[in-house]
Structure 1
Amino acid sequence: MSKKDTTARARKVREQELRARRSRAEQEHYIQRIVLVVAAVGFGIAALILVYALTNDYVFVPRQTITTVNGTEIKTKDFQERVKTERWFIANEIRSYASVVGVDQAVEQYGNDILALREPSLFGGQVLDDMELQVLLENEAEARGIEIDRAAIDAAVDQYVASFLVNQLTPTPSPSATEPTTPTATPIITSTASNTPTITNTPTETIQPTAEGCTEGQTDCPTVTPLPTNTLTLTPTPTLEQTYTPTPSDTPVAPDDIRSTVTKLENSFYDDANEVASIDRDAVRDIFTLRALRTALLEDVTKDQPTQEVWVNARHILIQVPEDPARVFTAETCDSEEWAPFKQEAEQVLAALNAGEPFAALAQAVSDDGSGANGGGLGWSASSGYVPEFKSAVDTADIGAIVGPVCSQFGFHVIQVMERELRDIAASQLQQNRSTAYQEWETDLVANADIQRRDDWEDRTPSDPSYNDLLGNVFQ
Structure 2
Amino acid sequence: MAKNPRQKQPLQTKKHLARIERERIQRRYILISSIVVLVLVVALIVYGIVEQTYLQPLQPVAVVNGQKVSTRDFQTQTRYARYQLVSNARNTMQFLELFGNNPEALSSFQGQIQQIQAQLEPTSIGQEVLDNLIEAELIRQEAEKRGLLVTKEELDEAVANAFGYYQNGTPTIQPTEKPIPTSTLNPTQKALLPPTSTPTATPVITPTATPVITITLTPTQIPTITQTPDPTLTPTPYTEQGFQSLYDEVMANFEKDIQFDESDLRYQIETNLYREKLMEAVLAELEVSREVEQVWARHILVADEQTAQDVLKQIREGADWNDMAMLYSTDTSNKEQGGDLGWFGRGAMVVEFEKAAFELSIGEISEPVQTSFGWHIIQVLGHEVRTLSESEYQQLREQKFSEWLTQVRENATIDIRDYWVDRVPAEPTLPPEIVQFLQQSVQSIPQPTLPAASPDQ
- Matched with 2:148 is 146
Superposed displacement of residue 439, structure 1: 2.9
**Residues 147 and 473 (structure 1), Cα distance of their counterparts in 2 relative to 1, 3 Å cut:** farther
- Matched with 1:432 is 395
Superposed displacement of residue 361, structure 1: 8.0
- Matched with 1:295 is 276
Code of the residue aligned with 2:379 in structure 1: it is I
- Equivalent-residue separation in structure 1 for 2:336 and 2:428 (angstroms): 63
- Matched with 1:383 is 344
- Matched with 2:405 is 442
> Which runs of structure 2 are paired with 1:82-97 in the superposition (5 Å)?
82-94=73-85, 96-97=87-88
> Which runs of structure 2 are paired with 1:217-296 in the superposition (5 Å)?
253=235, 257=238, 260-277=241-258, 279-296=260-277
Structure 2 unaligned segments of length 5 or more: list them.
Answer: 97-108, 166-174, 196-229, 437-457
- Matched with 2:211 is none
- Matched with 2:33 is 38
Show CA shifts across 1:144-186 (max 9, x none). Answer: 33223334434543454339xxxxxxxxxxxxxxxxxxxxxxx
- Equivalent-residue separation in structure 2 for 1:57 and 1:375 (angstroms): 63
Superposed displacement of residue 139, structure 1: 0.9
Code of the residue aligned with 1:275 in structure 2: it is K
Residues 220 and 358 of structure 1 are in contact (CA less than 8 Å); yes or no, is this contact kept in structure 2?
A: no
Show CA shifts across 1:111-132 (max 9, x none). Answer: 244333xxxx665544433332
Superposed displacement of residue 288, structure 1: 2.7
Deviates more, 1:86-95 or 1:142-151: 86-95
Code of the residue aligned with 1:135 in structure 2: it is E
Superposed displacement of residue 272, structure 1: 1.4
- Matched with 1:73 is 68
- Equivalent-residue separation in structure 2 for 1:90 and 1:278 (angstroms): 12
Superposed displacement of residue 137, structure 1: 0.8
**Residues 155 and 358 (structure 1), Cα distance of their counterparts in 2 relative to 1, 3 Å cut:** farther
Residues 309 and 382 of structure 1 are in contact (CA less than 8 Å); yes or no, is this contact kept in structure 2?
A: no
Residues 84 and 277 of structure 1 are in contact (CA less than 8 Å); yes or no, is this contact kept in structure 2?
A: no
Superposed displacement of residue 277, structure 1: 4.8
SS in 1 for 2:238: helix
Show CA shifts across 1:65-100 (max 9, x none). Answer: 5432112234xxx422x2443254235435544554
Root-mean-square deviation (Å): 5.2
- Matched with 2:370 is 408
Superposed displacement of residue 451, structure 1: 0.7
**Residues 299 and 125 (structure 1), Cα distance of their counterparts in 2 relative to 1, 3 Å cut:** same
Residues 314 and 377 of structure 1 are in contact (CA less than 8 Å); yes or no, is this contact kept in structure 2?
A: no
Residues 320 and 342 of structure 1 are in contact (CA less than 8 Å); yes or no, is this contact kept in structure 2?
A: yes
- Equivalent-residue separation in structure 2 for 1:365 and 1:28 (angstroms): 102
Superposed displacement of residue 286, structure 1: 2.0
Structure 1 unaligned segments of length 5 or more: list them.
Answer: 164-188, 190-198, 224-247, 323-338
Superposed displacement of residue 268, structure 1: 1.4
- Equivalent-residue separation in structure 2 for 1:435 and 1:27 (angstroms): 82
Code of the residue aligned with 2:344 in structure 1: it is S
- Matched with 1:360 is 320
Aligned match for 1:110, one of 103, 111, 116: 116
- Equivalent-residue separation in structure 1 for 2:359 and 2:51 (angstroms): 66
Superposed displacement of residue 136, structure 1: 0.8
- Equivalent-residue separation in structure 1 for 2:159 and 2:63 (angstroms): 28
Show CA shifts across 1:414-471 (max 9, x none). Answer: 6363x44554333333333333333333333323321113344445x2748x546x96
SS in 2 for 1:37: helix
SS in 2 for 1:162: coil
Residues 295 and 380 of structure 2 are in contact (CA less than 8 Å); yes or no, is this contact kept in structure 1?
A: no
Code of the residue aligned with 1:150 in structure 2: it is K
- Matched with 2:414 is 451
**Residues 271 and 30 (structure 1), Cα distance of their counterparts in 2 relative to 1, 3 Å cut:** same
Superposed displacement of residue 208, structure 1: 7.0
Residues 389 and 407 of structure 1 are in contact (CA less than 8 Å); yes or no, is this contact kept in structure 2?
A: yes
- Matched with 2:362 is 399
> Normalized per residue, which structure has more strand?
1
**Residues 66 and 88 (structure 1), Cα distance of their counterparts in 2 relative to 1, 3 Å cut:** closer
Code of the residue aligned with 1:79 in structure 2: it is T
SS in 1 for 2:63: strand
- Equivalent-residue separation in structure 2 for 1:260 and 1:252 (angstroms): 19
- Equivalent-residue separation in structure 2 for 1:406 and 1:291 (angstroms): 46
Residues 315 and 376 of structure 1 are in contact (CA less than 8 Å); yes or no, is this contact kept in structure 2?
A: no
- Equivalent-residue separation in structure 2 for 1:315 and 1:60 (angstroms): 61
Code of the residue aligned with 1:452 in structure 2: it is D
SS in 1 for 2:320: helix
Larger C-alpha radius of gyration, 1 or 2? 1
Residues 80 and 258 of structure 2 are in contact (CA less than 8 Å); yes or no, is this contact kept in structure 1?
A: no
- Equivalent-residue separation in structure 1 for 2:435 and 2:336 (angstroms): 59
